[in-house]
Amino acid sequence: MAKIYTFLKYLFVILWACFVIAPFLWAISTSFKDFNSVTSGATYIPWLQFEPTLDGWSVLFKPGSQGGINIVGPYFNSIFVTLTASIISIALGTLAAYALSRYTFKAGIVQNNDITFFFISQRIMPPVVLSIPFFLFLSTLGLLDSLAGLIMVYIVLLMPIAVWIMVDFFNRVPKEIDETALIDGCNPFQAFFKVVLPNSIPGMIVAGLFCIIFGWIDFFFAFILTFTNVQLLPVKIVALNSSITPWWSLSAAALVSVAPLIIVAFVVERYLSKGNLSGALK
């Protein structure tokens, strides 16, 4: 009975993996095709069914003057904006979450939970609602179409995630640990930096993972708040879609854009599998 169960479990996981991997395989195969191979019906295996070419890839790294698309600039813009916004969001979010978890705030009827909800409510609204205020806000500051403006907007979008995850994390850390640090001669800042923070790394990794994913995949705000000066990767990729869609380079660009997330997932997976994320504090 147990064997059948294990067999079914693995069978399901394998089928599911095939299902998930299929679009990637399709994108990989398409990225090596040219116009004729793409338009002459479904083909899968290179050399046998179609003649592979590197044109779809090489065009991505050629400058525009040579007829290329050059995604290198947008690529580094995306990395820079996502990482900067994520790091600032985690730093500020962790501090805010610690305060919300450990201290009681009260202004009229507004209490800790309301403040936490206020943070999350930024994510509950449809992004369209925020687009006009953000646009006006950045245009007043003269930061439209700039990396700094995008980073500011992304911090607004990512910090709620960090606050939310870290409040939950700190609520599960016994406050007696902070108290013991105080009793052992730490002032509240030392207690936070010497005792609480070193034990919060697992939570910060999870929060960082979410921030990086949500920052990296954002198309909407990058599309609305930038024009020509600054371009982020998702906008650049979608912009490839012209009268004749270059499916080959579109596929290649999509694969390149997913790569960092896959690397991040592999790095974090090692922490997850070690059980470091859950069992650090009980």
Partner 1 sequence: MSLQLGNISLKPTEQYHLNDVTLNFEPGKMYTILGRTLSGKTTLLKTIAGLQSPDSGSIHFMGKDFLSIPVWERNVAMVYQQFINYPHLNVRENIEFPLKQRKMEPSLIDKEVSDAIKKVGLEGFEVRKIQELSGGQQQRVALARSLAKKAKILLLDEPLVNLDYKLREGLREEFKKLFKGEEASQSILIYASTDPLEAMQLNGDIIVIDEGKILQVGSAKDVFENPANAKVAEITNDPAMNLNNGTIQDNKLIFNNEIQFDLPSNLQSIQPGDYQIGIRATDIHLDENGFGFDVDISEISGSETFLHLHSQNIKCVATIEEVKSYEVNQVVKINFDTSKIYLFKESGELLHSPFKS
Binding site for partner 1 (CB under 8 A): 174, 176-177, 179-187, 190, 195, 198-199, 279-281
Helix axes 112-124, 147-172, angle to 10 degrees: 130
Cβ at position 173, least distance to partner 1 in Å: 9
Nearer to partner 1, 173 or 224 (CB): 173
Nearest 5°: phi and psi at 46?
A: -65, 155
Cβ at position 189, least distance to partner 1 in Å: 10
Cβ at position 194, least distance to partner 1 in Å: 8
Q: Is residue 65 classed exposed, middle or buried when 0-12, 13-18 and 19+ CB atoms within 10 A define those classes?
A: exposed
Cβ at position 150, least distance to partner 1 in Å: 36
Cβ at position 184, least distance to partner 1 in Å: 4
* DSSP-assigned states of every residue in 153-198: HHHHHHHHHHHHHHHHHHHHS-HHHHHHHHHTT--HHHIIIIIITT
Nearer to partner 1, 123 or 194 (CB): 194
Nearer to partner 1, 85 or 181 (CB): 181
* DSSP-assigned states of every residue in 241-269: --SS--HHHHHHHHHHHHHHHHHHHHHHH
Nearer to partner 1, 51 or 184 (CB): 184
Give the pairing of strands 110-111 and 106-107. antiparallel
Nearer to partner 1, 83 or 201 (CB): 201
Beta carbons within 8 Å of 53's beta carbon, 6+ residues apart: 32, 33, 34, 248
Nearer to partner 1, 123 or 175 (CB): 175
Cβ at position 281, least distance to partner 1 in Å: 6
Give Rg (Cα) of the chain.
24
CA 86 and chain centroid, separation = 9
The CA-atom distances, in angstroms, between 174 and each of 49, 105, 182, 201 are 62, 19, 14, 16
Cβ at position 98, least distance to partner 1 in Å: 16
Contact 191, 177 (CB under 8 A): no
Cβ at position 106, least distance to partner 1 in Å: 13
Nearer to partner 1, 133 or 176 (CB): 176
Q: Could you give the CA distance from residue 76 to residue 233 in angstroms, rounded to a whole number?
A: 8
Nearer to partner 1, 178 or 218 (CB): 178
90: its two tokens? 């985690």
